[in-house]
Amino acid sequence: MGSSIRTRIFGLLLLVVFGTVGTGSFLSGIALDGMDPASVQCLSGSPRPGVGGPYRENAAIDGQFTFFPLGVTCVFDSPDDSVGPQTVANGNWPATFLWAGSTVVALSCATVLIRPGILTGAGRRR
């Protein structure tokens, strides 16, 4: 019985720790520079193409959050030239791998809690 309680506490502790790490890395992967909107992050994100030539022209900047990899995809377009829109992906691979790994560990910890005998008491020997 003592082993069952220790296993349950250990699984619950791992679930809380890695669930928190996974959520934190997910949120940090979405935000490259704080929690600003995607278009604002594209202004400060790197790399930024020289839109339409060697000069810094006015450009329409749009951005969208991506979930694999976590990060932002930016679209730069200048209405003053013949060059089409340029898309730059700013992926945060370390946050993506940390999120995926901690999610796998959190799910495996959840199975330790759910499997028969841990929470239900069905596996107890009498």
| 92 Cβ neighbours under 8 A, 6+ residues apart | 28, 29, 32, 69, 70, 71
Picking from 56, 85, 61, the residue whose alpha carbon sits closest to that of residue 72 is 61
32-to-41, 49, 75, 126 alpha-carbon distances in Å:
7, 17, 16, 56
Per-residue confidence band for 1, with pLDDT thresholds at 50, 70 and 90:
low
pLDDT at 37 over 70: yes
Distance CA 75, CA 89 (A): 9
The answer to whether residues 74 and 42 touch, using CB atoms and an 8 Å cutoff, is: yes
Q: Would you state the pLDDT for residue 55?
A: 45
pLDDT at 123: 52
pLDDT higher than 80, residue 11:
no
What is the share, in percent, of the chain residues with pLDDT greater than 70? 68
**Widest CA span of the chain, in angstroms?**
81
Percentage of residues of the chain with pLDDT beyond 90: 0
Whether 108 shows a pLDDT value over 70: the answer reads yes
Helices (H), the chain: 2-30, 38-44, 93-114
Mean pLDDT of the 77-83 span: 78
pLDDT of 118 strictly over 60: no
d(CA 15, CA 106): 5
Q: Report pLDDT for 28.
A: 66
